[in-house]
Chains A and B, each alone.
Chain A
């Protein structure tokens, strides 16, 4: 089973709202990722967690706050977002990080619209 699940599928929020995106995997992977993707562009890495610790933050604004409660779960807390933050947010996982050979498996994404 190579399934990564994400909820919600769609999210519409105002600029003053606080919301959270959730991601779950049960493949025993120890690395989990958040990506942001604009239409017809490749995914852009935001955060990497390895063994539930934040390994990489790609200079993401503090209005995005990741959290890894355990090895299967990854959250992305959103607060005071801007309309330009509207995008498809993808979660991915791999066995380990960093290792320059592990395949990353992506979830279906959350389509976020900021009004």
Chain B
């Protein structure tokens, strides 16, 4: 099946620092989605990307859909304690056919810890 390699697996940063994480794949993706999940809660959509090269911001968050369609990154500027959580990238693979079409593929997640 399709795979997304998300890195880093975890990050420990000081409040106020900027954060960068990314996802890569050997397959072409139609969409890239970034979710944040707090403990015991469901994933919350942060940013959705639909076109190669697209750069989208949501407050302190910025994400880009890679020009090759095989990668995406998420940046968080001036981190604050409430940024703590697990960040997942996810996407729909353009190359997936049959019963895989339309299914979301998830990265393994980046665990973010912010020290005050």
Residues of chain A having any CB pair with chain B under 8 Å: 2, 4, 6, 40-43, 45, 48, 56, 88, 90, 97-109, 111
Contacts and interface: CB of A to CB of B under 8 A. Distances in A.
Contact of A100 (B40, B45, B94, B108): B94
A23 B103 CA distance: 20
Contacts of B50: 101
Given A103-B45, A104-B104, A107-B42, 16 more contacts: A42-B88, A48-B102, A56-B103, A97-B102, A98-B101, A100-B30, A101-B92, A103-B31, A104-B33, A105-B45, A106-B35, A106-B42, A106-B43, A106-B44, A108-B42, A109-B40
A59 B8 CA distance: 31
Contacts of A48: 102-103
Interface string B46-58: 0010100000000
Contacts of A43: 43, 106
Chain B interface residue number, banded: 20 to 34
Given A100-B31, A100-B93, A100-B101, A42 B109 contact: yes
